[in-house]
Amino acid sequence: MNKGVFLCLSSNANLKVESLRLFIDYLALFGYDTLELGLDDMIKIPEEPYYGYLRGGYTIQELSALDDYAREKGIELVPSCQMLGHFGRLKKIPEYESIIDIDDILLIGEERTTLLLKHLIHALRLSFKTKRINIGFDEAHHVGLGKYLDKHGYRNRFDLLLEHLHLVNSLCKEKGFEPEMWSDMFFKLANKGVYYDKKVELPQSVLEKIPEGVRICYWDYFTTDEETLTHMIKEHKKMNRPLSFAGTITNFAGFAPANRASIAILEKQLPIVSQSGFESVLITVWGDDGNDVGSFSCLPGLFAASCLLDGERDEKRISRMFFEKTGMSYEAFLALDEPNRTPVNKDLLHASVSSKSLFYNDPFLGWKDFALEKVGFIDYEAAKDKLQKAKGMVAKEFRSLFEKEAALCSFLERKYDLGIKTRAFYQKRDKEGLRGLLPAYRECEKRLALFEKKFRKEWFLFNRPYGWDIQTIRLGGLALRIKECRERLSLYIDGKIERIDELEENLLPYAPFDSAFNMYSGFVSVRNL
């Protein structure tokens, strides 16, 4: 069984070439043989100048040299580029707007669509020696329901998906590639948009039309129910095509990873997968919603996953082997999960974005305050202390990860329940209570500035500068908002304004603050961003 890692490089942060070499070094040390690079539009294509434009895209020469380096380390480098959906970054550009069907999905059947894919595949052929290529095809939920519908009328969406798959497959074969694709769209089209389901069955008419030789990858990041897993595996086997399984180390849950939660899930998934005849397993590392965490934060999770695939489940032995191979403490690295430790996630056994949602939670609007009141006290001081102690037990190049998160906890120590306290005093018309909060607002401003400094240090150590603009905008917006709230409170306390409208409102229930899928644009404001 091939043992690989999928690393996303297209979600805001993209690693420097030297950082990618370091990542490859660790994968080789951990016993992996494959690294899929999630490039999407992050490759410079001569015929498509907007690919990688102002995003820090990698050149063909850089990727080719990296491919050589990986081979020396025993790692096969495999490109992954979306060829159906996830074109959201390009749809802003007039050049490509005409070939976007709906959402972020390519318009199937267009000459310009085919030409784009030809240019992309050719550039990938020049960059990589491997025969394997991941063509994506996931999460194209509304394929055929936008421009395609207007132009051609309604068409069976299975047929449309398969038509495009056959085209991409033939283009790949022409360049000596053997395609791999995510499987979810087959299941979603068959099951009204639902992927993981004990009852879903793929139509035989569809199974027969999947091109020969296309590798199918079943990705599943959270299912631990054996019955569901077994059923999904059975349905994948019906495709009679080479099969891969993809689990994850959750690196997309805000500013902190979820290594422990991910390992707990993989402990249940991988034994079942290993016995089911899959040709390869991928452990994915995504960077959704800004890539706040940093790719190296998942090292303990990746090591544990490799051990699990080798049949090793004893945590003490895993910890000892991690130290023997890296010279670093396994438990110290796991401390990076700490900012998400809350009373409802006290053992860190589920993926959570609580630290990020409380970080951006508005002091006056209080999107998360309704749920947080039910959660209770969060000991960010203890988390900060643990991170500061752990920093000395890892390699020097990774200490910035711990410094950033310690600064995060320091900020949250003052910020996380500030909105609750503010609203409570305001609605009691307790101006002296509000006056007592003003130093906390000033301290938040000071600690946020320190967090930004530590975050920036970590970012520029490992990543190209592209994408930091997003972090600057988000952090700068938060800093100005905290300052503005403090100033308006002062005006109210001094009798210069009569009311603060946002604090007059009683909060209504909202989504749990610790969901893994709460994204910045969804919780920072009621308005669209």
Q: What is the pLDDT of residue 525?
A: 85
> Does any domain span residue 228?
yes
Tell whether 425 and 463 lie within a shared domain: yes
Hey, what amino acid is at 183? S
Q: How many whole angstroms separate alpha carbon 475 and alpha carbon 64?
A: 36
Q: How many whole angstroms separate alpha carbon 83 and alpha carbon 134?
A: 9
- Contacts with 236 (C-beta within 8 Å, 6 or more apart), sequence order: 183, 216, 218, 243
Residue 198 has pLDDT above 90, yes or no: no
Domain boundary among 268, 298, 327: 327
Tell whether 380 and 446 lie within a shared domain: yes
Question: Which pTM does this prediction carry?
Answer: 0.96
Tell whether 367 and 302 lie within a shared domain: no
CATH number for the domain including 517? 1.20.120.670
Exposed / middle / buried, residue 251 (Cβ in 10 Å: 0-12, 13-18, 19+): buried
Q: How many whole angstroms separate alpha carbon 476 and alpha carbon 486?
A: 16
- How many domains is the chain partitioned into structurally? 2
Tell whether 221 and 283 lie within a shared domain: yes
Q: What is the pLDDT of residue 374?
A: 86
Domain boundary among 327, 343, 358: 327
Tell whether 50 and 101 lie within a shared domain: yes
> Does any domain span residue 212?
yes
pLDDT, tens digit, for every residue of 421-452? 999 999 999 999 999 999 999 999 999 999 99
Q: Are strands 215-219 and 178-182 parallel, antiparallel or unpaired?
A: parallel
Q: How many whole angstroms separate alpha carbon 67 and alpha carbon 75?
A: 9
CATH number for the domain including 189? 3.20.20.80
pLDDT, tens digit, for every residue of 126-167? 999 999 999 999 999 999 999 999 999 999 999 999 999 999
pLDDT, tens digit, for every residue of 388-419? 999 999 999 999 999 999 999 999 999 999 99
Residues in a beta bridge with 86 = none
Tell whether 320 and 418 lie within a shared domain: no
Residue ranges making up the domain that contains 496: 335-523
> Does any domain span residue 56?
yes
Q: Are strands 105-106 and 100-102 parallel, antiparallel or unpaired?
A: antiparallel
> Does any domain span residue 356?
yes
Q: Are strands 76-80 and 243-248 parallel, antiparallel or unpaired?
A: unpaired
Q: What is the pLDDT of residue 86?
A: 96
Exposed / middle / buried, residue 199 (Cβ in 10 Å: 0-12, 13-18, 19+): exposed
Tell whether 424 and 508 lie within a shared domain: yes
> Does any domain span residue 90?
yes
Q: What is the pLDDT of residue 511?
A: 67
> Does any domain span residue 174?
yes
Tell whether 200 and 221 lie within a shared domain: yes
Question: Is the Cβ–Cβ distance between 80 and 39 less than 8 Å?
Answer: yes
Question: Is the Cβ–Cβ distance between 125 and 175 less than 8 Å?
Answer: yes
Give me the phi and psi of 95, to 5 degrees please.
Answer: -55, -35
Mean pLDDT of 53-82: 98
Q: How many whole angstroms separate alpha carbon 488 and alpha carbon 31?
A: 57
Q: Residue 432, Cα to own-chain centre: how many angstroms?
A: 44
> Does any domain span residue 166?
yes
Average pLDDT, the chain: 95
Q: How many whole angstroms separate alpha carbon 423 and alpha carbon 506?
A: 9
Please state the three-class secondary structure of 132-186 as a single string: EEECCCCCCCCCCCCHHHHHHCCCCHHHHHHHHHHHHHHHHHHCCCEEEEECHHH
Residue 348 has pLDDT above 90, yes or no: yes
> Does any domain span residue 528?
no
Domain boundary among 296, 327, 358: 327
109: left (phi over 0), alpha (psi -120 to 50) or beta: left
Tell whether 291 and 437 lie within a shared domain: no
Tell whether 208 and 272 lie within a shared domain: yes
Token readout for 417 is 């329940």
Q: How many whole angstroms separate alpha carbon 297 and alpha carbon 398?
A: 9
Question: Is the Cβ–Cβ distance between 478 and 448 less than 8 Å?
Answer: yes
Residue 313 has pLDDT above 70, yes or no: yes
Tell whether 511 and 418 lie within a shared domain: yes
Report percent pLDDT > 90 for the chain: 88
Identify which has the larger pLDDT, 528 or 272: 272
Least confident of 218-222, 472-476, 520-524: 520-524
Tell whether 349 and 301 lie within a shared domain: no
